């Protein structure tokens, strides 16, 4: 079974354009300004985020992109070139500063005339904007559908096929503009999974693409999005990733166990790990979850095969993910709302590819070798918590 998965992943990777294979060979990791700062983000905030990514150990754990979201944009000059507003006085200097920290930097725009926050979009200026981003030194572009949706609907009322083709063409146009600059820029499609984006996004140059609506900083939103990714593993792989949206670890009211489930699920999904918390208020618990190198290693596994559901009960789901070294990552989620713990749970090792119902296991959250485990072994999982194991024969 694992040989077949290895071959399929290699075939999918080989079919991508060379540029896509080189970019985002593993899921991008970094931080985005929107979840915490929203429209208030400034040059100083981005510099501070870069500083804290280094001092907190986030950079050394693999988080390298510092991404500016919406509201940086100013007006266009007489030649149609995009400028910044007063919050970002010198984008080239900011990019240079981020790069000096051993990090990369990302920017945001829309294929429409306006971004979601009603700032200047890239409509009709795709090549100009791509050239500007490259000159400033940017490494990543998040391209958010926003006002282009209205153009699609107004141009082709009630013709959804034609609207969807317009959307694909708009993303292709910006991809081609980015390639033309000659600078490697990761292309992140943000269009909320419309028209089953996972089926066509690689063909328009996407390195990652949103599969759902926006995540919110609570357990119900997070787990609903995570579980909805079941069955989508065949659309993801090196250079092209399903994106269930940014991490909310450290935001909202999610407790320790819910944050563990969040990080576990995103790592099982080979999802981009784009943090969205406030580093200035990050406590040791949140830091330890975001920087757990054993869990991150699952997300960043070179095989790039997204995990999938192998068993589901009324209040439990078990997901498995084949890894490049022949081992398997196994995650067990306690979805119960009314009970504090769940005991005596079968791990369904056979469904995860282990005949005989036994495997050698390492607990990736406890950093502990468990020796030989069997389906009959008892695991205690807190409400809304998860166990994450690495299994070998």
Q: How far apart are CA 67 and CA 188, in angstroms?
A: 11
Per-residue confidence (pLDDT) for residue 291, from 0 to 100? 98
Q: Which fold has domain 2-299?
A: TIM Barrel (3.20.20)
Outline where the chain has alpha helix (H): 2-14, 18-22, 34-37, 43-55, 58-61, 91-100, 126-136, 148-155, 160-181, 219-227, 256-268, 284-290, 293-299
Rounded CA separation 152/80 (Å) = 23
- Which band of pLDDT confidence, cut at 50, 70 and 90, is reported for residue 346? confident
pLDDT, tens digit, for every residue of 245-285?
A: 999 999 998 999 999 999 999 999 999 999 999 999 999 99
Instruction: Locate 281 and state its tokens.
Output: 């208020």
Query: Was domain 308-392 assigned CATH 2.60.40.1180?
Result: yes
Looking at residue 88, what is its pLDDT? 98
What is the rounded average pLDDT of the residues 30-51?
Answer: 97
Establish whether 144 is a catalytic residue. Answer: yes
Q: Which DSSP string do the residues of 200-218 spell out, in sequence order? A: TGGGGT-SEEE-SS---SS
pLDDT in tens, 189-247: 999 999 999 999 999 999 999 999 999 999 999 999 999 999 999 999 999 999 999 99
pLDDT at position 22 is: 77
Q: Per residue in 291-344, pLDDT tens? A: 999 999 999 999 999 999 999 988 899 999 999 999 999 999 999 987 666 655
pLDDT value at 360 more than 50: yes
The pLDDT of residue 98 is above 80? yes
Domains of the chain, by residue range, sit at 2-299, 308-392
pLDDT in tens, 42-82: 999 999 999 999 999 999 999 999 999 999 999 999 999 99
Task: Answer yes or no: are the C-beta atoms of 120 and 82 closer than 8 Å.
Answer: yes
Instruction: Report residue 86 as tokens.
Output: 């007063």
Q: Is the pLDDT of residue 14 over 60?
A: no
Active site residue 60: no
Q: Say if residues 239 and 270 touch (Cβ distance below 8 Å).
A: no
Catalytic residue among 43, 144, 245, 299: 144
Does position 166 have pLDDT exceeding 80, yes or no?
Answer: yes
Of 195, 214, 285, 363, which residue is the catalytic one? 214
């Amino acid at each position: 079974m694992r040989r077949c998965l290895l071959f399929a992943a290699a075939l999918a990777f080989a079919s991508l354009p060379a540029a896509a294979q080189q970019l985002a060979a593993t899921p991008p990791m970094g931080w985005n300004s929107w979840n915490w700062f929203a429209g208030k983000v400034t040059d100083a905030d981005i510099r501070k985020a870069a500083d804290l990514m280094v001092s907190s150990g986030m950079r050394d754990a693999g988080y390298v992109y510092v991404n500016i979201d919406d509201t940086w944009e100013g007006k266009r000059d007489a030649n149609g070139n995009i400028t910044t507003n007063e919050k970002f006085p010198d984008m080239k200097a900011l990019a240079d500063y981020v790069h000096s920290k051993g990090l990369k930097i990302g920017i945001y725009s829309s294929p429409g005339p306006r971004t979601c926050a009603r700032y200047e979009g890239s409509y009709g200026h795709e090549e100009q904007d791509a050239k500007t981003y490259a000159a400033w030194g940017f490494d990543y572009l998040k391209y958010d559908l926003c006002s282009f949706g209205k153009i699609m609907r107004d141009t082709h009322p009630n013709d959804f096929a034609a609207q969807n083709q317009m959307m694909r063409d708009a993303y292709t146009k910006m991809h081609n503009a980015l390639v033309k600059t000659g600078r490697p820029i990761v292309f992140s499609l943000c269009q909320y999974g419309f028209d089953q984006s996972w089926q066509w996004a690689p063909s328009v140059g996407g390195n990652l693409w949103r599969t759902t609506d926006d995540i919110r900083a609570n357990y119900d939103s997070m787990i609903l999005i995570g579980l909805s990714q079941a069955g989508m593993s065949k659309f993801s792989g090196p250079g092209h990733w399903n994106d269930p949206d940014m991490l909310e670890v450290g935001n909202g009211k999610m407790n320790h166990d819910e944050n563990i489930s969040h990080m576990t699920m995103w790592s099982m999904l080979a999802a981009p790990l784009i943090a969205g918390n406030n580093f200035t208020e990050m406590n040791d618990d949140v830091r330890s979850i975001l920087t757990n190198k054993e869990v991150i290693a699952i997300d960043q596994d070179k095989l790039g095969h997204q995990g999938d559901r192998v068993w589901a009960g009324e209040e439990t789901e078990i997901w498995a993910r084949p890894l490049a070294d022949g081992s398997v990552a196994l995650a067990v989620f306690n979805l119960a709302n009314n009970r504090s713990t769940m005991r005596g749970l079968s791990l369904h090792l056979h469904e995860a590819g282990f005949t005989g119902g036994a495997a050698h296991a390492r607990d990736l959250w406890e950093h502990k070798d468990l020796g030989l485990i069997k389906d009959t072994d008892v695991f205690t999982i807190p409400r809304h918590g998860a166990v994450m194991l690495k299994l070998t024969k």
